[in-house]
Structure 1
Amino acid sequence: MRKVSLGQSGINVSRLGFGCMGLAEFYGEAVSNNEAEKILEAALDRGVNFLDTADMYGSGRNEEQLSGFLKKHREDVVLATKFAFQRGEKGELLGMSNDPKYIKEACDASLKRLGVDVIDLYYMHRRDRNVPIEDSVGAMADLVKAGKVRALGLSEVSADTLRKANDVHPIAALQSEYSIVTRDMEAEMIPACRELNVALVAYSPLGRGLLTGAYRNESDFGKGDYRMMGNPRFSDGALEKNVSLVDQLAVIAEEKGVSLAQIALAWVVAKGDDIIPIPGTKKISRLDENIGALNVNLSATDIAAIEKAVPPEEVAGARYPESRSSTLNA
C-alpha cells in the first residue's frame, strides 16, 4: 500500500483510507464491536492505516467500536475524528457548537471513548457561523499544544474560511464529499487546498453507495438506512435518474475489466495524490474490491469518457436535504 502525505502535517497515510461511520449508523443496522474489529483488522492487514470516525456517529458508539482495535494497533494507524454536532440520549440532533470551551470538552470525551492519548487528525465537522473561525481554530491549536491532537482539519467549509483558519494554525486536511457524482469541490475548494498545501479527504467517494451499482430501487436499502429518509439523491424519482447515469459508467467499467466501484474510486485517485478517498464498508469482500481500485490505471481518454458519462448537471437531487444545506460551505 502506497503512502501519501496528509497535507503539511508530516503525517503519511495509506493512499486509500477507511470511513468507519457505516459500522455504527446511517447505512442500515450497526455491526457488533466484534464485527467492526474484524473489518478494521482486515483493512490494516491490507495496508489501510487511515481511519476516519466522528463523535456523532452512533452518538459516540463508532468511537467506542474502534477502542478495542486501537488498544492493539494504536501505533499502526492514523486516527481521525471530529467534533461539532451535539446529540441527545436517544440520538436526536440537538445542535452544533464550535465554542472553544465545548471543543476542548468534546476532544476529551473522544479521547476517552477511543481509549487513546492523542488524536492524529482532529476535524471541525461543520462550521458554526456564529463563532469566529479564528476563535474555534485557536482552541483546536491549544489542543495541539497540549499534546492531545497532532494535526487539524476542517470539513465542508468555504475557501475563505479555509484560508482564515490556516492563518491561525496550519490545516492538514479538508474533508468534503467528492466523487464523480459530486464535483462542486473542483471550482474553488481543490484549488484553495493546493494553494495552501492542504490534503482533500474525500468522503462518500462512491456516492453513498450509488456508484457500487448495488442500489437500484428502494427495496435494495436496509432497515433504518438514512438514504431512504429524505435524502434528495435517493428520493422523489432521483434514484431512477441517477441509476441511468451509473449504468453508463458501468459500460466503461466493463470495458476496462473492473467493477463499477473500482472505476469510480480510480477516478478519484487519478485526480491527484493530495486527494485521499475514504470509502467505508461492512464487508471484507467490498474492502478488497475498493483496494483493488488502486491497481486500475486510467488514461486521459478514460477519465474524459467517465466524466462524459456522468455530467455533473445530469445528477438528480442535492446531496443533502435543504434543512442541512446551511452547514455546507460555511
Structure 2
Amino acid sequence: MKKRRLGQSDLMVSEVGLGCMSIGTNIPTAKKVIEEAIDLGINYLDTADLYDQGVNEEIIGELIMDKRQDLILATKAGNRFEKGKDGWTWDPSKSHIKKAIKDSLQRLKTDYIDLYQLHGGTIDDPIDETIEAFEELKQEGLIREYGLSSIRPNVIKEYVKRSSIVSIMMQYSLLDRRPEEWFPLLGQHDVSVVVRGAVAKGILTSRPFSTLASKIQANGYLSYTANELKQVREQLADYHTLSINELALNYVLSSNVIASVVTGASRKEQVKENVQAIRADLLPAHILDELKQITKKDIYEQHR
C-alpha cells in the first residue's frame, strides 16, 4: 500500500489507517481485524485512552507486541476518566497529559508513541501549557510527534501558529466538506490531515438507507435532509463504475494535504473492502469537480 508523509515528520503512514475503536473487546475477533490490516499493508493504527476506558489500548498492546517496530501507533489524551465510572471530563493540563502518556504506554506495552494527539480542544484551554507538555514528551523520547484531533477552526489555527504539530485528525467526507476551507492554511504550514468519518456513518456505502441509524433516516446528516441524502446516494450510485464507498474514500485521498484515511472495522472483511477501495488515480480532476457539484461545500459556522 502507498504511504504518505505525516507533515514534516519522518513518519510514513499507509493511505488507509485502522481506527481501532471499532475492533471491540472480543480478543479473537480483534486479532483477526488487526492481522488482516497489517497483512494488507496498513501500518497506521489509531486509538485513544478513552476507548473502552483503556481496554482498547490494552488489547492493541497485546496483539502488536511482535510487530511494534513496523507500525505507526497513534493514541490520544485529554479526556480524564475514572475506570468503572461513567463519563469523563476535559483536561488538557500539562500534569494530566504527562500522567496519561505513562498510562497509555503501560497499556500499549511500548516505550514510545509515534503520534500522540490531543483528543479535542477549546479556545479557552491553556494552549501554551498543553503545547509545552507535548514538546517535553517529545524531548524525553516518549513520543515521536504530536498532533490534534479537532474540527474547531479557532483551535486549529492556534495550534498551527503556536506549535509544531504534524497532523490534525478531522471528520471529512463527500458529505462533510467543511475542512476543505482550511486545506490551504494546513498545506502552507506542512500540517497533514488524518481523516475520520470518510463514509459518513455508513451513508456513503452500499448499505440500504433503511439500515442506517434511525436518527439519520429521520433527520438527515449535517445540513442534508433525509431526502437529500437519498438523492445524493442515487446520484453517486449512478455516476461512475466505482461503488459509492470507492468514490467516498478516493475523494478524501485526492488532496495532497491528506496523509491517511482512518477507517473503522469490526470484521476483517471490512478491512479488506476498505483497502481494495483505494485507487485514487481513478479520480481525475474532472471527476473530482463533478463530485463537488453533486455535494455541498458547507463551512464551520461555530468556533471561528
Q: TM-score, normalised by structure 1?
A: 0.83
Alpha-carbon separation, structure 1, partners of 2:192 and 2:257: 9
**2:30 — aligned with what?**
36
- CA apart distance, 1:160: 4.9
Q: 1:84 to 1:234 in 2, by over 3 A?
A: farther
- CA apart distance, 1:70: 1.9
Matched, 1:196 2:183: no
Give per-residue Cα distances to partners, 1:235-262, cap 9 Å, x unaligned: 435445423322221112xx32x32211
Matched, 1:236 2:216: no
Alpha-carbon separation, structure 1, partners of 2:183 and 2:158: 16
**1:224 — aligned with what?**
none
**1:208 — aligned with what?**
201
**1:306 — aligned with what?**
291
SS of alignment partner, residue 65 of structure 1: helix
Q: 1:309 to 1:168 in 2, by over 3 A?
A: closer
**2:64 — aligned with what?**
70
SS of alignment partner, residue 169 of structure 2: strand
Identity of paired residues, percent? 27
Give per-residue Cα distances to partners, 1:287-318, cap 9 Å, x unaligned: 222112222511222112222222246xxxx9
Greater displacement, 33-42 / 238-247? 238-247
| 5+ long unaligned stretches in structure 2 | none
Alpha-carbon separation, structure 1, partners of 2:208 and 2:53: 26
| 5+ long unaligned stretches in structure 1 | 24-29, 222-226, 320-324
Q: 1:236 to 1:157 in 2, by over 3 A?
A: closer
- CA apart distance, 1:132: 2.0
Match of 2:112 among 105, 118, 126: 118
**2:101 — aligned with what?**
107
Aligned residues of 2:154 and 2:303 also touching (Cα < 8 A): no
Give per-residue Cα distances to partners, 1:50-78, cap 9 Å, x unaligned: 11111111221211121122211101110
Q: 1:215 to 1:291 in 2, by over 3 A?
A: same
Matched, 1:279 2:260: no
SS of alignment partner, residue 139 of structure 1: helix
**1:177 — aligned with what?**
171
Greater displacement, 201-210 / 268-277? 268-277
Matched, 1:186 2:176: no
Greater displacement, 70-79 / 31-40? 31-40
- Which one-letter code corresponds to 1:109 in the other structure? D
- CA apart distance, 1:161: 3.6
Aligned residues of 1:209 and 1:215 also touching (Cα < 8 A): no
Give per-residue Cα distances to partners, 1:169-209, cap 9 Å, x unaligned: 4111011101101111111x212211110110011111122
- Which one-letter code corresponds to 2:26 in the other structure? S
**2:81 — aligned with what?**
87
RMSD: 2.5
Query: What aligned pairs does 1:147-162 form with structure 2 within 5 A after superposition?
Result: 147-156=141-150, 158-162=152-156
Q: 1:38 to 1:136 in 2, by over 3 A?
A: same
Alpha-carbon separation, structure 2, partners of 1:173 and 1:60: 23
